[in-house]
Structure 1
Amino acid sequence: MSRKKHDSTSPPNPSKIISKGKTSWPFTAFSVASLVPVVFAIILYQLDPFDPAPYPPDVFTRYVVPVPASNGRMLQGSESVGAGKLVGPEDVAYDPSSGVIYTGCADGWINRVTVNDSVSDSVVQKWVNTGGRPLGIAIGRNNEIIVADPEKGLLNVSAEGTVELLTDEAEGQKFKTTDAVDVAHNGIVYFSDASYKYRLKEFIWDILEGKPMVDFLATTLQPREQRRRCRKYHIQGEDKGRVEKFIDGLPGMPDNIRYDGEGHYWIALASGLTLPWDLAFRYPFVRKCIAIMEKYIGRPHMEKNGGALAVDLAGKPTAHYYDPGLSLVSSGIKIGDHLYCGNLVYPHIIRLNLKQYPAT
């Protein structure tokens, strides 16, 4: 027993102390390596001047208006019109008298695309180059084309292809992102400037910043992207100048709105509801983190389930077409039996036969 007592009070084995010291170095190195990027990210966050604002509470609602019919796999039956010949065909305007679609592309060209039963028979003609980036397209009363070009302003293109600047400013302020355009039956042109601060290539900053940037010049139906709603603006009659609800709780973020002449508006949805965007709209610090990533390494892809929603004249949804693989859908219009969708980045117009692949 005396020997056991002596052993218990004897000094520790030196070899054990050395061994313990050796195993601590990898742990220390791992800790430092883990902390350095965290500290760097915190410093970067604090120093970056980007200052997103809180969104209004109504942005946070998860309510989605019921839609009686839907097709959630529209890409499975879709066709590509003008594949490889159209660079980001953002808007789609149809001239029934000639059977031609007009669309503006990222390379500056306004293209004319023939509408045929077979996609392979469709012909793409490079018609006029604006020297900018044509977005919104509308057909005027005298077969002229009215173009919203964020780099040039509001343009008039004659039937012969002559480009004329109508305006690029309002009350002394230059437009930044001339975006959507329409022509009323009396020839009055209504258009919007999407942002007075950011240009088209910087559109993501407009959304991330969360501050009101839309310069509403005139339109009949006004999409509100972050709030997932559309408003109706009366341009004539007893209610002239009044703004009222058209539809709330859209199943995605709206872009252009098109009327098909058959009692329905088609609202393009750039993206459906996603968890990343839900968190971003709720928390400004999340939007700032996304902005920092966008600035230095590029933001993650956060969009899916883009498509188009059909609503009647009262704003009641009738059909929803979308797909998990679709995003940045910017326009949609029904022509005959087909739905045609424009896109900011795709190299073609998406076409879906609504009789063969209906919403159910």
Structure 2
Amino acid sequence: MFTGTADGRIIKIENGEIETIARFGSGPCKTRDDEPTCGRPLGIRVGPNGTLFVADAYKGLFEVNPWTREVKLLLSSDIPIEGRKMSFVNDLTITRDGKKIYFTDSSSKWQRRDFLLLIMEATDDGRLLEYDTETKEVKVLLDHLRFPNGVQLSPEEDFVLVAETTMARIRRVYVSGLTKGGVDLFVENLPGFPDNIRPSSSGGYWVGMSTIRANPGFSMLDFLSERPYIKRMIFKLFSQETVMKFVPRYSLALELSSSGAFKRSLHDPDGQVATYISEAHEHDGHLYLGSFRSPFICRLSLQSL
């Protein structure tokens, strides 16, 4: 298993052993303010040749050889795309032949360390982009997204799903076939704010929910969405760390069908085991749960459910 860490590393976990195989930035890496120099690997995918394709929030797109530790920069965040710099490279998904990478830039204004400000402001400057690994060309597939986050190609590779976190919905962007260039809603009004999207063994998709929208009950983000003056007041008075203490620890992962219908949901109401789920990754009968806050990965046996 490979994962990114808060201190900017790509690590390999095998037989209980942890090994660092890559780092894109340099230390020290102790606080959120160190992230721009340390780097923050987010989305990771395995390519057709076994190399890792990685989206780093601050540095851009990379290819990593897990055997030789060779690191290759594919696309720097410093390069403007259609006149705008990428400030928050987030997740990626790659075609089976390795020729196309679809990835999200969550904002042209806010960086990952300021993700709460991005959510509160509900900025619509996020984009879904396509990178051609052969020609090195980059193009924008969809603009004016509010915190685009996780992405996932369909099994037929005819469309890409993109989680629009602030809007609690998932968009579908057609990238091949007769409907190429078309966009529609895959699912909306989700019970939480979606993060990464990954395939499930049933042919559908797992969606990690970064936090929930209480229903019935009070959802702070929903309440504040129509009250920008209160948002401004909150961040003048409190730090992001203080605001996070008011975010529910309720953990939720959803399994959706291939058409976007709800199949099942997994809950940890008090966040006793897992909190702030960023990804649910299925492998060999287990579901691995990552978090953007917790310093560990959870493994859940799906056969025991």
TM-score (norm 2): 0.77
Q: Which structure shows the higher strand fraction? A: 2
Aligned to 2:63: 156
Aligned to 2:95: 184
Q: CA RMSD in A?
A: 1.8
Q: Which structure shows the higher helix fraction? A: 1
Residue 238 of structure 2 corresponds to residue 294 of structure 1: yes
Q: Is the 1:252–1:270 contact (alpha carbons within 8 Å) kept by the matching residues of 2?
A: yes
- SS of the counterpart of 1:355? helix
- SS of the counterpart of 2:118? helix
Aligned to 1:251: 191
2:266 to 321, 329, 337: 321
Taking only the aligned residue pairs, the percentage that are identical comes to 30
Q: Deviations over 1:135-171 (max 9, x none)?
A: 1101111111111001211111124211111112323
Amino acid corresponding to residue 172 of structure 2 in structure 1: K
Deviation of 1:297 after TM superposition, in Å, equals: 8.1
Query: Which protein has the larger Cα radius of gyration, Structure 1 or Structure 2?
Result: 1
Aligned to 1:308: 253
Q: Which has the higher contact order (CA 8 A, sep 6+)?
A: 1
Aligned to 2:22: 128
Aligned to 2:222: 278
1:195 to 102, 107, 113: 107
Q: Is the 2:2–2:11 contact (alpha carbons within 8 Å) kept by the matching residues of 1?
A: yes
Alpha-carbon distance in 1 for matches of 2:284, 2:189: 28
Q: Deviations over 1:302-328 (max 9, x none)?
A: 233222100111111111112123342
Q: Deviations over 1:175-231 (max 9, x none)?
A: 111100111123211111111101110111111112212122145101111221111
Q: Is the 1:252–1:306 contact (alpha carbons within 8 Å) kept by the matching residues of 2?
A: no
Please give the residue correspondences for 1:326-337 in structure 2 after superposition, counting only pairs within 5 Å: 326=271, 327-337=275-285
Aligned to 2:142: none
Aligned to 1:137: 44
Alpha-carbon distance in 2 for matches of 1:180, 1:297: 24
Deviation of 1:296 after TM superposition, in Å, equals: 8.7
Residue 125 of structure 2 corresponds to residue 213 of structure 1: yes
Which blocks of at least 5 consecutive residues in structure 2 are unaligned?
A: 26-38, 131-150, 152-159
Which blocks of at least 5 consecutive residues in structure 1 are unaligned?
A: 1-100, 115-120
Q: 1:288 to 1:354 in 2, by over 3 A?
A: same
TM-score (norm 1): 0.66
Q: Is the 2:120–2:221 contact (alpha carbons within 8 Å) kept by the matching residues of 1?
A: no
- SS of the counterpart of 1:310? strand
- SS of the counterpart of 1:207? helix
